[in-house]
Amino acid sequence: MGDRPVMLITGGSRGIGAAVAHAAAADHDIVVNFASRAATADALARELSYRGATVITVQADVADETQVTEMFAAVDEVFGRLDALVNNAGIAGGYGPLATVDAEMLARLWAVNITGPFLCAREAAARMRTDDGGRGGSIVNISSKAAVLGGATEWVHYAASKGAIDTMTTGLAKELAHVGVRVNAVRPGLIDSDFHLHAPPGRMERMAPTIPMQRAGTADEVAAAVLWLVSPAAGYTTGAFIDVAGGR
């Protein structure tokens, strides 16, 4: 393929993932990972290709190690390089206080929100690291401000999974810095997205007055932070967290 850097976005067919894809398409080729919505992913790929990006879509459940390794093999086959991974795929894992949490819910939540990003980071780093033939690269983990705030009465389980992502970000940033791989995270706060469909109606409107900026953020605002982190402008930035949370 060409000389454009290649970005893989997990959960990339909609929401924040799709916003990142749109923002990156001007100067990246894109791999859009999706779990089940093939038509949505294909429509996004067509949009991005009109802007000059080479785009492939790859169906894979990031919680499944075999599917993850097959996804990265597809990237190797088509592009022969990987420059950026955006670990965006994640699930809410249900809504409610501690009494509503059960083991089945937690098992799937941990699998998608923790195991998935670890597996994808492992595969991405193996291709990027400069001590093993790679050209360096950037991993951006999509965490959540809930990792800091705790998600009490609504999403403590989700917040805990994102707390694990924060620790992973710090540890991998230190582990991979000397081999040319930067690892950072973006922590969105209240963002206007379908995430809130998991909660009772009107959550965004109820929450907006608690935000210092008095509004929800947008997926495009999150994407802008991601694009800065993968850019050369952030070349000395690793192990960092950008809160896109309106001051909360």
Domain boundaries, the chain: 6-244
Exposure b/e, 48-86, CB count within 10 A at least 16 = b: beeeebbbbbbbbbbbbeebbeebbebbeeebebbbbbb
2 pLDDT higher than 70 = no
Tell me the catalytic residues. 158
18 pLDDT higher than 90 = yes
Q: Report the Cα 163 to chain-centroid distance in Å.
A: 14
1 pLDDT higher than 60 = no
148 pLDDT higher than 90 = yes
- Residue with the larger pLDDT of the pair 205 and 232: 232
Which residue, among 83, 81, 85, 89, has the nearest Cα to 139 in the 3D structure?
85
Strand 29-34 to 6-9 pairing: parallel
Task: Determine the average pLDDT of the residues in 29-40.
Answer: 95
Phi, psi of 190 (to 5 degrees): -75, 105
Phi, psi of 58 (to 5 degrees): -135, 120
Task: Determine the average pLDDT of the residues in 195-223.
Answer: 89
pTM greater than the 0.75 cutoff: yes
CA distances from 34 to 44, 161, 165, 183, 206 (A): 11, 20, 20, 22, 31
pLDDT digits (tens, 9 = 90+) for 63-85: 999 999 999 999 999 999 999 99
User: What is residue 204's predicted lDDT score, i.e. its pLDDT?
Assistant: 83
Question: How many Cα atoms within 13 Å fall on the side-chain side of residue 232?
Answer: 2
Are residues 223 and 20 in contact, defined by beta-carbon separation less than 8 angstroms? yes
Which fold is adopted by the domain 6-244?
Rossmann fold (3.40.50)
Are residues 68 and 119 in contact, defined by beta-carbon separation less than 8 angstroms? yes
